[in-house]
Chain A
C-alpha cells in the first residue's frame, strides 16, 4: 500500500516476483492501477488519503473475528496494559482524543498514559509540534517514565481499560460498509484482502507489508504507518522471517540522511537537537533518557558524550559538559518549508546551500521555493548538471509572469559542479539499513568535487579565517575537531567513517559496537547506531562476499545497523520461551545447551540473556529488559498497539480526511487531523474542504508520483537521452469517464488547476484510472508524474507548483500525495494571465488565507483559524 514497487524499485521487486513464483499472493492497494498492479494477484483501487480507514477496517475485521495471533500479542505487545481512567477515545469525543486544545491545535498527552505510570504534570504538545519532536524517536521508542517498573495489566485482555479492549472499541465502527463508503472499495474486495492477510499470518505463515512515500506524504502520514504496524503486530508479523514492514525509501541514501541527519531537529543516531530548555548536558540527558525506563536508549548519555567528543575532541571535557554549550538551540519549527517562507518574507535568511537537491522542482509549492531563492543574498548550488534551482534568476516560470525580473533579482548564485557517485568513495545506506561502500573509480572532471571535499575545505578555510578570534561565538568552530586524514587534497572518507563508528580514546582503536561507548569522555563516536561498521579496524561496509558463498541472510555483504542485524526485533521470531514459533519460520532461538541466542540472523537481543530472565527490583536500561521483552529499544520492552506517548496526533490511528478532500468525514465530526500543521498565509492558499463551502470548484482528487523512467526532480534523468526518450513528456492520467465529463482527448493538451497554480500536460486517457463510488457519489482521481521542469532534454511544467504546504505535525512532512483540483482541456494561460486565471478560481471558491486553517471541526469550541503571523490577509 502506498507503494508502486515495480515502478519505483524495480530491482527490489524481483523478490516479490520470486515470492509470487513460490506461491505467495501479491495484493496491491493503490489509487491507480500501476505496473505493480499489473503483476499482482489482486489490485484494489482506493481513494487517495483514506488508507487509515481501510487499515482500520482490517483491524476491526481481525479483532471482531478473533483472528489475532493471541500468544504473540499477549507476550510482545502492550495489549494487556491498563490505561489511565482519564483517557477518552475518539469514540467519546467525536474524533478527538482527550487533552485537545483548539487554540493551539495540539494535545496535552498526559491522559494517554498507562494507569500505573504517574504523570507529574501536563504534557502540552504545542512545543513538540514546532520541533517535529516525534521524528526523534527513529531509533527508539519514546519515553514512558517508569517503563521499567511493573505496569498494571490484564493478561486475559478483558479489562475495559486494557489496550486490547480500547483498540477494539476505537475501531468498532470501521466496518466493511464504512470502508466502502469512505474508501470507495467494494466490500467484497476489502474482505478478500482481510481473508488473504489473516489466512497468511500466524505460526506457520507470515505476511509482509510494503509502503513508500504514498504513506508518508500525508498530514497523518505517521499514523498511516502506525495503522500498518498495528495490523502486523496483531497478526504476529513483526521480527519474523517473511514478515515485517518494508519502508521503501526513494533515494540512494535517504535512510542514511536521517540516521546521520542533515535535519534541523536531529543529531546523528536520532539524538534530538538541543532546545532552549536544555541549559546544560544534564538537563538534555534528563529529557533524552529519563531514568527508570527499559531498553538500550538508557545509554543515551554514552552516545551523547561520545558524539560531543567526536565533534570537539580535546576541547570537550567533563568540566565543560563536553562542549555541550557549543551547540545551537532550536526553539521552534525550523523545517525546510518554514525556512523557505522566511526567505520569501526577507531579512531573515541570507544564504542557502542547495546540495544535490532541486527544490525549484522537487519541493512542494515550487513557486514559493523559487520566490524564496530569488530573495536571498546568495545561493550555493552543488550538482552534476545545471538544474532549475541554479537558473531560477533567468528562466523560472516567474520570469514569464513578471514575478521575478532578472535585472532586479539580487541573488548571487554560485554553481559548483559535483563529483558523481563513481568519482568519490563513501557509503550509502540503502532501504534495509545496509551501509554499502563505494570505491572511487575515476577522478572527478574539471572543477567537480565531492561534498566531502567542499565541506572539509570550507571548514578548514573558515577556521583559518577566524584563527585568533576571541569572540565567544567563534569558539565552537575553533574548537571543532577537523583533523580528518587527507589524501592529496581529498579528505579520506574511510577515516570519517571510522570516526563515525567510534574510537576508544585510551587505546586509539576503533570500537566494535555501541555497547563499548562510555559516558566518561573516553570514547568518541559520530553516530552510535553506526558503531560497529568499523569493528576490528575493518571497513565492514566494504565487504563484498558473493551471495553464492554465504547463507540466506548474507551477513558478510555490506553492514547493517544496528550491529549487522538484518531483521529488527528478531527475538519475536521465537516464542517467550525462546523456541521458534514454527520450524518453517525459525529465525533466531535460545540454545539452552550453549546458553545463548543463535540462529540464521544475528539475534537482536543480548546474546546470553535467557528467556527466563527477570530483572531485579529497580533495574533500568538494558538490565531492565526481561528475557521475553523482544522490543529492546522500547522503554517498556513491548511493541505498542497503543502509543502512550511520542505522537502528537493521538495514541491510535484515526481516519481523518486529507486537508483537501471532496468528502465529509463519515466517522467523526472532526474532519481532518486536528493537529495538522497549517501555514495560513496569502501565498499558501488551500482549496476548501467540507464543512467549508465551494469544494465543487476543485471536484477531483489529485495525486502525484514517479515513473520508472525518471528520477525525482529530473536532474539525474531528464538530462539523459536514454531515459528522456522513454518518457518524453509530462502527462496527466484520467479515466475515460472523467475524460468524457471534461472533454479531454487522448494525447491532447489539458491543464490541472489548484488554488496555487495551473500546469499543462498531455492527456493519457486510460482504463488504469477508474472512478470510485464514495458514499454514493462518483469521485474521480487524477494522476501526474512530477519529474518535469523547464531545463533538460525534455521539459514541462512543475507539478509541485500545484501543491500547497500542509504538514504532518509529527515529522513536518508535507501532504503532497493528496489534494483536490480541477482539470480542463487545452493549455493554461501564459504569463501574467496565469496569475489572473488562478486568482479567478480562488475567487470562485471563496478562498482566503483563512481557508483550511480552522482545523478543529468537532466539539463546541472550534478555536481560531491558525494563521501565520505577519501581513494581514490579502490574496496573492
Chain B
C-alpha cells in the first residue's frame, strides 16, 4: 500500500503520496546565494507575516549574523561568511595593500565559544540541537599564512526549512501535528502539536525547534496560509534581489541549472547546487540552494539523511508513535467534551 520511495529515495509526487488528490504542483524555494546582499528582509518579512517573536538581542559577532541559526523563532536565517578566498573573478581590492594575516580564524574561535551557549528549545527534553556546525569563516587549511591577505570574499546566504521530500520531522511526529500539505510542503499544525520534541531530533538539518515559553515546535510553513490564498511566501516576496525565488519546484530546478551554468561560464567554478538532487539522503529538498562553497561553510550538513531511511526499524517507531497519537487524540476529545 505504500510507494517504494515513500520513506526514502526519489519520490515523484510527495503530495499524492500523502493522500492529496488533484493537488497543485509541488512548490518550493530556490535560494541563489550568489545574489544575496545579506539585508535580512527575509527574516523580518517572515516574522511580520507569521507573528514570530523576537529571538534575543545578542551580538554574536559572527560577521553581521546576529540570528545564529534557524530555530523556533527564526524561520529564516541569513548566514554571513567572511573568507580569505577569491569569488570568481571578483577583485576584492586587497592586492598591494599592506595587509597582514587574516583574522577569520581568530574570529571563529571567539564565535564558537558564544554559539555553544545559544539556547535551543529542544534541549530541555534531551533532544539537543543537531550538531551541524555553524557558519565557519574559513575552510580548514585555506589560510595563506602570515605573508599577507591577497584574497577576500564575503558570502551571504538565507537559510530556511528544506521541506524535504522525506521529512524526518514529519516521519517521527507522533501526534499528526506535522503534515505534508497539498503543495508538498511540511507544516507544523499548532492546534495539534503537544510539544513532545521528537521532531527536533528527527530533522537532519537542525531546523525545527521548540519555543521555550510554550514548548511547541515551530518552523517555516512556507507560508501555508499565503499559498492557499495564491500568494507567494513573505520572504520571497520581500527579497530585494530575488535571491529567494519561489515557484513550482520543477521550474525552480530548471532555473537553478541554468544559473549554475551561467556562473560556471563566468568563472565562478565553486558554485554548486545543494538539495537539488532527488537521489540524496532526503530525496531532494523543496527548498534548495545555489552555494559558493562547501555546505559546512554555511552551517549546512554535507550529507543529510532522513532518519527513516532504515524503514523496518522506523516502522516500529512509527507504531509506537501511532499508539501515542491514539492516546493523545482521545485525551483531546475527552477534554474538549468537558468544556
CA distance A282 to B272 in the complex (A): 72
A722, B100: Cβ atoms under 8 Å? no
Minimum Cβ distance to chain B for residue A755 (Å): 28
A39, B99: Cβ atoms under 8 Å? no
A772, B57: Cβ atoms under 8 Å? no
Q: Judge if B178 is at the interface, Cβ distance under 8 Å.
A: no
Digit string of B34-46 for contact with A (CB within 8 Å is 1, else 0)?
Answer: 0101111101100
Contacts known (A192-B91, A764-B61); A737 close to B99, Cβ less than 8 A = yes
CA distance A10 to B42 in the complex (A): 12
Minimum Cβ distance to chain A for residue B262 (Å): 9
A773, B98: Cβ atoms under 8 Å? yes
Partner of A771, one of B63, B82, B97, B240: B97
A13, B37: Cβ atoms under 8 Å? yes
CA distance A820 to B103 in the complex (A): 24
Minimum Cβ distance to chain A for residue B293 (Å): 14
Residue of A nearest to B155 (CB): A38
Residue of B nearest to A12 (CB): B240
CA distance A295 to B54 in the complex (A): 56
A17, B241: Cβ atoms under 8 Å? yes
Chain A residues with CB below 8 A from B37, complex form: 6-7, 10, 13, 17, 35-36, 38-39
Which of B17-25, B104-112, B281-289 contacts the other chain? B104-112
Partner of B103, one of A728, A736, A772: A736
CA distance A735 to B102 in the complex (A): 9
CA distance A36 to B84 in the complex (A): 18
CA distance A37 to B59 in the complex (A): 23
Minimum Cβ distance to chain B for residue A232 (Å): 23
Chain B residues with CB below 8 A from A778, complex form: 98
Residue of A nearest to B242 (CB): A14
Minimum Cβ distance to chain B for residue A42 (Å): 4
Partner of A33, one of B39, B89, B93: B93
A10, B103: Cβ atoms under 8 Å? no
Chain B residues with CB below 8 A from A7, complex form: 37, 39
Minimum Cβ distance to chain B for residue A750 (Å): 13
Minimum Cβ distance to chain A for residue B43 (Å): 7
Digit string of B80-97 for contact with A (CB within 8 Å is 1, else 0)?
Answer: 001010000111111111
B57, A189: Cβ atoms under 8 Å? no
Q: Judge if A723 is at the interface, Cβ distance under 8 Å.
A: yes
Partner of A725, one of B57, B94, B95, B240: B57
B97, A186: Cβ atoms under 8 Å? yes
Q: Judge if B72 is at the interface, Cβ distance under 8 Å.
A: no
CA distance A53 to B328 in the complex (A): 74
A772, B97: Cβ atoms under 8 Å? yes
Chain B residues with CB below 8 A from A793, complex form: 57
Digit string of A1-38 for contact with B (CB within 8 Å is 1, else 0)?
Answer: 00000110011011001000100000000000101111
Contacts known (A10-B37, A33-B154); A766 close to B57, Cβ less than 8 A = no
A767, B104: Cβ atoms under 8 Å? yes
Partner of A746, one of B91, B96, B103: B103
Minimum Cβ distance to chain B for residue A384 (Å): 17
Minimum Cβ distance to chain A for residue B69 (Å): 14
Digit string of A44-69 for contact with B (CB within 8 Å is 1, else 0)?
Answer: 11000000000000000000000000
Chain A residues with CB below 8 A from B106, complex form: 736, 746, 765
Among B56, B66, B102: residue with most chain A CB under 10 A: B66
Chain B residues with CB below 8 A from A768, complex form: 82, 152, 154
CA distance A186 to B156 in the complex (A): 28
CB-contacts of B37-81 with A (<8 A): 37-41, 43-44, 47-48, 53-59, 61, 63-64, 66-67
Minimum Cβ distance to chain B for residue A840 (Å): 30
Chain B residues with CB below 8 A from A762, complex form: 59, 61
Among A740, A764, A772: residue with most chain B CB under 10 A: A764
Q: Judge if A794 is at the interface, Cβ distance under 8 Å.
A: yes
Partner of B97, one of A708, A709, A770: A770
CA distance A186 to B152 in the complex (A): 17
Chain A residues with CB below 8 A from B114, complex form: 747
CA distance A736 to B53 in the complex (A): 36
Contacts known (A41-B89, A765-B107, A771-B99); A14 close to B94, Cβ less than 8 A = no
Partner of A38, one of B84, B94, B107, B153: B153
Residue of A nearest to B47 (CB): A722
Chain A residues with CB below 8 A from B54, complex form: 721-722, 724-725
Residue of A nearest to B39 (CB): A10
Among B56, B58, B103: residue with most chain A CB under 10 A: B103
CA distance A740 to B101 in the complex (A): 11
Chain A residues with CB below 8 A from B59, complex form: 728-729, 731, 747, 762
B91, A725: Cβ atoms under 8 Å? no
Q: Judge if B26 is at the interface, Cβ distance under 8 Å.
A: no
A33, B152: Cβ atoms under 8 Å? yes
Q: What is the total number of residues of chain A having a CB less than 8 Å from a CB of chain B?
A: 59
Question: Which range holds the interface residue count of chain B?
Answer: 35 or more
Q: Judge if A739 is at the interface, Cβ distance under 8 Å.
A: yes
Digit string of A714-755 for contact with B (CB within 8 Å is 1, else 0)?
Answer: 000000011111111101000111011000011100000000
Minimum Cβ distance to chain B for residue A400 (Å): 23
A41, B55: Cβ atoms under 8 Å? no
CA distance A728 to B111 in the complex (A): 16
CA distance A6 to B40 in the complex (A): 12
CA distance A664 to B18 in the complex (A): 74
A43, B91: Cβ atoms under 8 Å? yes
CA distance A709 to B66 in the complex (A): 11
Among A40, A725, A746, A766: residue with most chain B CB under 10 A: A725
Chain A residues with CB below 8 A from B240, complex form: 10-11, 13-14
Chain B residues with CB below 8 A from A472, complex form: none
Digit string of A167-195 for contact with B (CB within 8 Å is 1, else 0)?
Answer: 00000000000000000101011001000
Q: Judge if B276 is at the interface, Cβ distance under 8 Å.
A: no
A726, B97: Cβ atoms under 8 Å? no
Residue of B nearest to A794 (CB): B57
Chain A residues with CB below 8 A from B64, complex form: 35, 707, 727
Among A21, A188, A740, A766: residue with most chain B CB under 10 A: A766
Chain B residues with CB below 8 A from A739, complex form: 103
B91, A766: Cβ atoms under 8 Å? no
Chain B residues with CB below 8 A from A45, complex form: 93-94, 97
Q: Judge if B180 is at the interface, Cβ distance under 8 Å.
A: no
Residue of B nearest to A721 (CB): B54
Contacts known (A737-B100, A746-B106); A35 close to B39, Cβ less than 8 A = yes
Chain B residues with CB below 8 A from A767, complex form: 82, 84, 99, 102-104, 149, 152
Among B43, B95, B99: residue with most chain A CB under 10 A: B99
Residue of A nearest to B57 (CB): A728
B97, A725: Cβ atoms under 8 Å? no
CB-contacts of A775-796 with B (<8 A): 778, 793-794
Among A188, A767, A773: residue with most chain B CB under 10 A: A767
A766, B96: Cβ atoms under 8 Å? no
Among A42, A722, A724, A728: residue with most chain B CB under 10 A: A722
CB-contacts of A654-700 with B (<8 A): none
Residue of A nearest to B153 (CB): A38
Chain B residues with CB below 8 A from A42, complex form: 90-91, 93
A726, B43: Cβ atoms under 8 Å? yes
Contacts known (A14-B241, A42-B93, A189-B91); A766 close to B103, Cβ less than 8 A = yes
- Top 7 nearest A-B pairs (CB, nearest first) are A721-B54, A186-B96, A736-B103, A38-B154, A728-B57, A729-B59, A43-B93
Q: What are 18 A-B contacts defined by CB distance under 8 Å?
A: A11-B240, A33-B92, A38-B37, A40-B90, A186-B96, A708-B39, A722-B43, A724-B57, A725-B54, A725-B57, A726-B44, A727-B66, A728-B59, A746-B106, A766-B63, A767-B82, A770-B97, A772-B97
Instruction: Given contacts A33-B93, A186-B95, A188-B95, list 12 more A-B pairs with CB under 8 A.
Output: A7-B37, A17-B241, A189-B93, A722-B47, A725-B66, A727-B64, A736-B106, A746-B61, A747-B61, A747-B114, A767-B152, A770-B97
B residues near A, CB below 8 A?
35, 37-41, 43-44, 47-48, 53-59, 61, 63-64, 66-67, 82, 84, 89-104, 106-107, 110-111, 114, 149, 152-156, 240-242
